Structure 1
């Protein structure tokens, strides 16, 4: 197998290659570090490359391999970590150049689980400042770019992670999603992104500061890889404010099971924020047709999301104030959001309203199993397209673009972004599947069925 094919080999298959001694962890790491050295200057997908640490870990794992009797599931497989998550001894700057010397002395809980699964950390991927934006262009860093067309954004805030996976700069990636920050980049870059249910993945050793709207999740080139990484990251850690039981069977196992005949609803607009453009609508309608051919019952209907817009904005924008970062070192957009921060009473009132609307949205799922939506309401923007707009203008454009994503954050429901084709510019088209609370298994099984019916793993950006 040549090095390009190896770089684009799914993570689960890489793990098997290592087990069969057909490739070593060191060989894999060297492949990715060479690709990062060559392509990251164009893509801006990594803030920090952990070359020295990755090579040392890979050498140690390679030496262990001949005598190991039992190996963790992803022994020797390279992965990236988003630069909103802590890795001990590695800078975590949250997309802010003033924090380049912010070096945590502990691993986040998800990082601990990822290491325990045998992964090798390649580096920290690019994010928008504080994860605030659905594009990844933080001041002081090169903008992250879409590997399918470098003039366009890979999305945000997990834009670096999705771009790295799509371009073959890591086998698989950890991301996080507080309003579409996994699903949007996955859609922009033509990969799979899973936002799990609230309580599925721990925020340990710290806590959740956004009333449950944000979570860690997985980004991969296949449904099976994304499901298997979710298995790794899932699980209660002492002190979590909310949690779910471990899945039984595993999420990876359900990729091999048929979902049965499901009741599926779909929509291509999010009143009062707008309707999907032709490309995003086409992705939904193509998927609906395929679902019908696969034997599912499909009808056009949607919950009423209108009451969610205002309270969600109040909760989401409070992230800037909660960060504790001084206004003078923030980007203009985040300074503007900081100035709009609500009082404690207004925040709690917004949480109350958001939870009330969330109950109504979840009640809609009493009669359906899955809701199919666009991921975003229009195609990816160009890098820098909104750079000269005022913060207020940018804010309203963001809301109108990402509108299909925040409802699942507010309700805590699981959602998956799946690639479904390409538009006339060669950019990926995607679709979003939203499931019942804690029903990742249904979504993953359905996503695997769609992937099998219309495979996309063979597609690679020319740059890669």
Structure 2
């Protein structure tokens, strides 16, 4: 059920918010022991909030746009009075004294918190396997990963455990799990959505965005969470347009750019390539003009990212020293030893690996050779996008080179894991909005994702094209049978 449909049922009294909430809590109870999408289910709060929505409807009050909608929140967004762990032992018992801006806006809009979702530790990973509390599983096939780092949020939506969810995207952490789980995942323009209350990974790359079963629902959530926030100095002051109105515009006459380097990338699954090209042909049949474009440094994004992101992570995670809050080792004789032990015991292997990479890249004698050089390449990547957008309105690529892989497939080869984000990272490098839309299935019945990218603050155009494609292709109506997808 989409948000607009639900709103109509609530207003007409055909279903109560409490009934919808109980349905989703029952679904969580039925499937989450196997999926492990959630780290914490807030059933008591959810039911109380739903009862307040029902009381307001009975009183004839005007209902807010997300009234009664059960939502799941990635567990790196601070929720006042509710644990926010980042799936790390370091923050296992951390209860924030404040609410993040985006979640605060959701609750003001009538949304109902149904739980906090699992993720790769501190959002560092592409499979949710680095979570200190165990991995989440893919609802299409529990032997496969749901993607990452927002794997729990994607799996929860795909399995029907919530209507929609929020995740964060540093190098593809919304779009890649959305592709693996067959849902819509939107990364807005950098600065379009406040990061205040998002536990930082890489501050110049992180962005919050929604997961949903439709583009229309993604637009509904973006409408609520987008906009200026004085508490976040990187948040843009640009007015928020009507994203829902953009969905109704046709796509005839738009120029769609197929990024040459993406379709020639090493490791691109032939089934993924064929499905995405078929989606491009669908857009062409709807009146779009297909244009091959080149972004010569597109595939350099991943090497650039793995200098910049770990460097920023090294600086951001320095605050976890065992002194002010977070995990503290009790087996230390001095302050220095306590800090070292706390970080060694509190952080998992992947987080420690990235801290070490970042610390090295920022060290004396290497900062110019690595970090400064990476920032220069980042500028070139942005210029490639700027040049491409002089020729086309929107860019089209696969979201991920492959469909969901098996657990442990890259356990001994972290570089192979990093390549899962090959096609999503460049949009983060340039701060551009991008969306995943399901576009097909492989021979194993696993979802394939299409990525669309537009220019800065062109979310209305992005949603317009994604919605038109979604409505014409109706991919999810042709889906094969799946283990835990309703």
TM-score scaled by structure 2? 0.88
Q: How many residues align?
A: 450
State whether structure 2 residue 339 is matched by structure 1 residue 315.
no
Offset at residue 371 of structure 1 (A): 1.0
Structure 1 pair 309–169 and aligned structure 2 pair: CA distance change class (3 A)? closer
CA–CA distance in 2 between the matches of 1:202 and 1:252?
Answer: 20
Q: Counterparts in 2 of 1:154-303, with a 5 A limit?
A: 154-204=146-196, 210-239=202-231, 240-248=233-241, 250-267=242-259, 269-270=261-262, 274-303=266-295
Structure 1 pair 208–352 and aligned structure 2 pair: CA distance change class (3 A)? farther
Q: Counterparts in 2 of 1:47-66, with a 5 A limit?
A: 47-66=39-58
CA–CA distance in 2 between the matches of 1:27 and 1:286?
Answer: 40
Q: Secondary structure at the match of 1:378?
A: coil
Structure 1 pair 402–268 and aligned structure 2 pair: CA distance change class (3 A)? farther
Q: Counterparts in 2 of 1:133-148, with a 5 A limit?
A: 133-148=125-140
CA–CA distance in 1 between the matches of 2:419 and 2:292?
Answer: 21
State whether structure 2 residue 20 is matched by structure 1 residue 28.
yes
Offset at residue 158 of structure 1 (A): 0.9
Partner of 1:10: 2
Offset at residue 82 of structure 1 (A): 0.4
Q: Unaligned stretches of 5+ in structure 1?
A: 1-8
Partner of 2:468: 449
Q: Unaligned stretches of 5+ in structure 2?
A: 321-342
Structure 1 pair 56–211 and aligned structure 2 pair: CA distance change class (3 A)? closer
Per-residue CA distance 1:156-189 (angstroms, 9 max, x = gap): 0111111111110000111111101010011001
Q: Counterparts in 2 of 1:81-100, with a 5 A limit?
A: 81-100=73-92
Per-residue CA distance 1:355-374 (angstroms, 9 max, x = gap): 34312322221111111111
Query: Given that residues 279 and 379 in structure 1 are in contact (C-alpha distance below 8 angstroms), is that contact kept between their aligned partners in structure 2?
Result: no
Partner of 1:354: 378
Query: Given that residues 394 and 452 in structure 2 are in contact (C-alpha distance below 8 angstroms), is that contact kept between their aligned partners in structure 1?
Result: yes
CA–CA distance in 1 between the matches of 2:401 and 2:449?
Answer: 11
Structure number with bigger Rg: 2
Offset at residue 333 of structure 1 (A): 2.0
CA–CA distance in 1 between the matches of 2:107 and 2:260?
Answer: 40
Q: Secondary structure at the match of 2:460?
A: helix
Structure 1 pair 199–208 and aligned structure 2 pair: CA distance change class (3 A)? farther
Offset at residue 335 of structure 1 (A): 1.4
Partner of 2:336: none
Partner of 1:340: 357
Structure 1 residue aligned with 2:400, among 356, 365, 376?
376
Q: Counterparts in 2 of 1:65-144, with a 5 A limit?
A: 65-144=57-136
Per-residue CA distance 1:9-45 (angstroms, 9 max, x = gap): 1122112211111111111111111110110011110
Structure 1 residue aligned with 2:459, among 440, 444, 454?
440
Offset at residue 232 of structure 1 (A): 0.7
Structure 1 residue aligned with 2:33, among 27, 35, 41?
41
CA–CA distance in 2 between the matches of 1:189 and 1:82?
Answer: 16
Offset at residue 280 of structure 1 (A): 1.6
Partner of 2:328: none
Per-residue CA distance 1:175-225 (angstroms, 9 max, x = gap): 111101010011001111111111210112579773531200111001100
Moved more, 251-260 or 103-112: 251-260
Structure 2 residue aligned with 1:402, among 393, 418, 421?
421
Query: Given that residues 253 and 288 in structure 2 are in contact (C-alpha distance below 8 angstroms), is that contact kept between their aligned partners in structure 1?
Result: yes
Structure 1 pair 206–83 and aligned structure 2 pair: CA distance change class (3 A)? closer
Structure 1 residue aligned with 2:346, among 303, 323, 329?
329
Query: Given that residues 76 and 198 in structure 2 are in contact (C-alpha distance below 8 angstroms), is that contact kept between their aligned partners in structure 1?
Result: no
TM-score scaled by structure 1? 0.92
Query: Given that residues 268 and 276 in structure 1 are in contact (C-alpha distance below 8 angstroms), is that contact kept between their aligned partners in structure 2?
Result: no
Moved more, 119-128 or 137-146: 137-146
Structure 1 pair 84–462 and aligned structure 2 pair: CA distance change class (3 A)? same
Structure 1 pair 68–444 and aligned structure 2 pair: CA distance change class (3 A)? same
Query: Given that residues 271 and 306 in structure 1 are in contact (C-alpha distance below 8 angstroms), is that contact kept between their aligned partners in structure 2?
Result: no
Q: Secondary structure at the match of 1:340?
A: helix
Offset at residue 353 of structure 1 (A): 3.6
Per-residue CA distance 1:21-71 (angstroms, 9 max, x = gap): 111111111111111011001111011101111111112222222113311
Q: Secondary structure at the match of 2:374?
A: helix
Aligned-CA RMSD value:
2.0
Structure 1 pair 280–385 and aligned structure 2 pair: CA distance change class (3 A)? same
CA–CA distance in 1 between the matches of 2:198 and 2:32?
Answer: 31
